[in-house]
Amino acid sequence: MQKLDLHSPMPVHFIGIGGISMSGLAQVLLGAGFPVSGSDSHLSELTEKLSAMGARIFTPQAASNIPEDTALVVYTAAIHPDNPEYAEAVRRGIPMETRAEFLGHLMANYPQAAAVAGTHGKTTTTSMVTEILLRTDCDPTISVGGILPTIGGNIRVGGGQTFLTEACEYTNSFLSFYPTHAVILNIEADHLDFFKNLDHIRRSFRAFAEEVPADGVLVLSDGVRDLEDFAEGLPCRVITAGLSPACDVYAADIAYDDDGCPSFTLFRKGGDCLGHVTLSVPGEHNIRNAAAAAALADSLGASAEAICEGLAAYRGTKRRFEHKGTFAGAQIVDDYAHHPQEITATLSAAARVPHARLICAFQPHTYSRTKALLPGFIEALSAADEVLLVPIYAARETDTLGVSSEDIAKGLRERGVASRSFSSFEEIEAYLRKILIHGDLLITMGAGDVYLVGERLLADTAVHQSTTSSASR
């Protein structure tokens, strides 16, 4: 393919344009004046937004959807060679790129291209950096892996020289990126349907770190195990960030409010104070995320004032300890956690929120992850008073591994934790309607669609309140 030049628009077609990441990339091109088309299996709010911006959207997917003048086809990892549009692009000899390859070429258009990587915390940390950069004059272009209210979605198209994005390790997609600045938050065993083991994952993250040029900057959180060994021999400047005073940027004087949200003072190594910060999101893990965000923003030229104001302004993204409402006097929170370390962080944060019982409705994500990390799930979830399981969210997989949600429930019961599995959302919702009482804290948790459980309970509350109000008039 010819080098992608944002100043030389060409027609680009996206297969799977309705995904949150693909739709964001399409928006960047539309903002630069590119003719954009794309297809997906169904229409959505994201495709409607793209259509309103001038994109040609097709559904369902078909060979005839690709415009005759298309210069490039971009496709997601979920698209296979037997897809009609993929096959048509091959037949016509149209240059093709994966989403990750295209994102890497897009990054190369920006003098400052920052990528946030890690097994956990990418969306939160990218969002924190976003809040900081919006308080500078760099006018950044930003791609977030979640919905950030401040930018009205998952993408911000700026006119400056700075690009900020998340960098996912799955299938080594982040090795297609060209960052001048990067962050690695943590490295844990995950995506074991692709990676062989933790050592394989660490090697991939090391390869990602080596992509940062000698005149670039890598921020390493002290959440990365064996930090010094991992960083040894890297050509770029390495900045450490976290909770230890040995880090180049660190948080100290930590305290928590009644909602579990921390306040702390940020320092540079040597005692230079950046300022005091009070976060509106709970948990120690978010202090580490904030320290990494501060270190990255500092390396990009943000002032100490912008760093502290931006971190304080961050109110969270959707599905990251998101307070949804109350049902029968019980608080309902939704969280994206789907890995044992993420679950531990979320439930640790929940422990600081006043409650009578902590009830977790968990949806495991993929059969391979559930089977590979089963003991970890049981250990992490045992921090709750009661754990309710719904069927595994298959995502890209089929059920061939002989594992189910009941395996987690059984393991929890053996540890003395109240737990049971349900065959459907309807069953778990009926159970929750019976048991939830004032003072309970219910967390719906998982990367699939378990959030619907809480939303349906809250919809019941809204209907009840509306009916009561109508009857009283």
Q: How far is CA 70 from CA 14, 28, 42, 85, in A?
A: 10, 17, 22, 12
Compute the distance between CA of residue 37 and CA of residue 11 in angstroms, rounded to an integer.
8
Placement of tokens 């258009």 in the chain: 109
Residues 427-430: contacts with CB under 8 Å, at least 24 apart: 428/361, 428/388, 428/390, 428/453, 429/453, 429/456, 429/457
**Alpha-carbon gap, residue 235 to 220, rounded angstroms:** 14
Beta bridge partners of 300: none
Q: Of these residues, 70, 85, 119, 122, which one is catalytic?
A: 122
- The dihedral region occupied by 121, where left means phi > 0, alpha psi between -120 and 50, and beta the remainder, is left
Residue with tokens 């760099």: 138
Tell me, yes or no, if 123 is annotated catalytic: yes
Which member of 47, 70, 119, 123 is catalytic? 123
One-character DSSP codes across 387-438: EEE---B-TT--S-S---HHHHHHHHHHTT-EEEE-SSHHHHHHHHHHH--T
Residue 315: CB partners within 8 Å, gap ≥ 6? 149, 150, 280, 281
SS3 188: coil
Residue 63 burial by CB count (10 A; 0-12/13-18/19+): exposed, middle or buried? middle
Asked if 296 and 114 count as a contact pair (C-beta separation under 8 A), the reply is yes
Catalytic residue among 85, 88, 166, 211: 166
Q: For residue 433, count other CB atoms closer than 10 A to its CB.
A: 13
Contact 324, 455 (CB under 8 A): yes
Tokens read off for 164: 């900020």
410 classed as catalytic: no
Q: What residues pair up with 420 in beta bridges, in sequence order? A: 388
- Catalytic residue status for 284: no
Q: Could you give the 3-state DSSP secondary structure of residue 190? A: coil
CA distance 105 to 409: 45
Enzyme catalytic residues: 122-123, 166
